[in-house]
Structure 1
């Protein structure tokens, strides 16, 4: 089949010839000795030239297959959501508690765009200095980020303490969960404040930064992951409840690997 397909796609069959007037016996051993007779045998066993796709048709077919697969995936997702039972009264109450926990600990709330301040563009562009661990950072950008990191961590801890399923845990378990998720929750909070127009993330609800500024300020390749997440999430326009529930999932599942 591969030989037949290549022959048709590259239009090679007019160039084939046979030294023995097209009378060769073709089997697994002799098939490479005569291309013309091999091609004729392909035709004789039912292979159809008009069913072989050229490059453009093959690409179009592959694209159609992918589109159909994606369409079926979305249909299955919609179907599963339609058959999902509505939350109970207790579940709605928990959703409300989680949402309010997020709102009360999320700096600047829904007004972050109006209250944000853009980090000057020259910050994060200075020559890089070596840190004790060997990493290179822009000290001015690093200094700006360290000013907001402690309040940001405190807000994550406050969020966690407002959740009943967290506050009921032993103290040592709470510490394990917070250590495992604090960076992820702070990253999520920054990612959902990605602004496509300015191509910035707003950290801690107040400092809008570019990708390179965040990278050079000490986060390195992690900044790429946060920005990429932000670009992806911006298409979903998540509301407070959705962001809050994502944070709760990150929090309560952070200790599952240990």
Structure 2
């Protein structure tokens, strides 16, 4: 197996930072209204100095009631509603670490939105209305003026942890939307067109079928055409990887190992939505529809059958774009890839991503108790396909001198570049 180091580390060296992508897509039920909430509402609306001051959990201003599951002011209530309904994209110029208080709450919308999510505001409650309320004891604990110093510290630590998790979720969501051509919105604009990997080769007059040599040439030509279709995704995966929190802190060699050895698994996860089982085709980001039969020639019938089955199973999980982004980031941060030097650092990255996906799934799919376990079960399935894919590449690696592959594709799979050849030999 290739160790992922290769030459030409420009895979990870090149690129300027790209502005954050799409808005965080996903959170779900938290508290709504009730008797205790009405009391807080009355206290917040009252002008009487005898009424207790109930702070907004987002900015600390006077709360006007329970909005989208959280004690909050009118300003934060309206801000959160607009952010969700208009699907606004935000950016932070200070690494997502701005303090959000009443006096500066309008200064950084990214951090204000992150704080809304972290304290429990529910995206689904904006879209669908009221949601189940939190237990009275938990709300009483959060607004009680008699909390002990220890409890306050615990609450602060919990809030900081939640903020850190939501920072990961937002970062991955924006990176995925910016650097994946196969998101829910982008798929709508893909225009399908029939395509083929087959290339015409010369057949001597009177010859009825291909010789073994001609079949090998045809297979190599088809693989080259497939490589051309896959290559745009390589740059997307590289750019996405560099925006995974703490990934860039790894050594360049370790970054290359993770990107190279994880690319096929990440690519296939993204492409799962593009498998059309009815027409038996895979649709690429440029709209090219390649038949299952042609893919089976490039790889093998059994391998392509496994590909389609794994993709179909993944689609049945009904994950949204943010969840797919988090899952592919987990695939990227696999600590037992051959050739890694700092496995502990990679494990820490993956642990934070798993925690983020756990929260994201639990909030978005609160009624599907076993969904997170089902998602994680896809990891070994992909790993098996990745190993089989690497085995299939061995034959192509031996034929490197007969073809000319796109440079990125050749580097991602550690295939020597044959700069002298333009096409595989047809003699």
Using structure 2 for the length normalisation, give the TM-score. 0.35
Structural mapping, 1:32-47, within 5 Å = none
Q: 2:166 aligns with which of 51, 67, 92?
A: 92
Q: For structure 2, which runs of at least 5 residues remain unmatched after alignment? A: 1-157, 202-208, 340-427
Q: Which has the higher mean CA deviation after the structures are superposed, 92-101 or 189-198?
A: 189-198
Q: CA deviation at 1:160?
A: 0.3
Determine the C-alpha separation between the residues in 2 that align with 1:129 and 1:117. 34
The 3-state SS of whatever aligns with 2:333 is helix
Residue 94 of structure 1: CA displacement? 0.5
Distance in 1, matches of 2:211 and 2:228, equals 19
Offset from partner CA, 1:40-70 (integer Å, 9 cap, x none): xxxxxxxxxxxxxxxxxxxxxxxxxxxxxxx
Residue equivalent to 2:229 = 148
Find the partner of 2:327 among 240, 246, 253: 246
Q: Matched residue of 1:241: which SS?
A: helix
The equivalent residue for 1:188 is: 269
2:239 aligns with one of 127, 146, 158: 158
Using the alignment, how far apart are the partners of 2:170 and 2:213 within structure 1? 44
Q: 1:167 is matched with which residue: 229, 248, 252? A: 248
- For residues 158 and 97 of structure 1, the distance between their equivalents in structure 2, rounded to whole angstroms, comes to 13
What is the rounded CA distance, in whole Å, between the counterparts of 1:200 and 1:114 in structure 2?
Answer: 18
Residues 89 and 214 (structure 1), Cα distance of their counterparts in 2 relative to 1, 3 Å cut: same
**CA separation of 1:250 and 1:124: change in aligned 2, threshold 3 A:** farther
Count of residues in Structure 1 that have an aligned counterpart in Structure 2? 172
- Is 1:117 equivalent to 2:198 in the alignment? no
Alignment of 1:23-62 (within 5 A): none
User: Which residue does 1:102 correspond to in 2?
Assistant: 176
Once the 2 structures are TM-superposed, how far is the Cα of residue 116 of structure 1 from its aligned partner? Answer: 3.8
C-alpha contact 2:199 2:222 (8 A) present in aligned 1:
yes
Q: Is the 8 A contact 1:215 1:222 kept in 2?
A: yes
Aligned partners of 1:201, 1:125: CA distance in 2, in Å? 22
**Structure 1 residues 94, 213: closer, same or farther in 2, change over 3 A?**
same
8 Å CA contact 1:194–1:202 kept in 2: the answer is yes
Distance 1:128 1:228 in 2: 31
Change (3 A) 1:140 1:239: same
The separation in 1 between residues aligned to 2:285 and 2:197, in whole angstroms, is 21
CA distance in 2, matches of 1:160, 1:130: 41
The structure with the largest alpha-carbon Rg is 1
TM superposition shift of 1:148: 2.1
- Equivalent position of 1:76 in the other structure: none
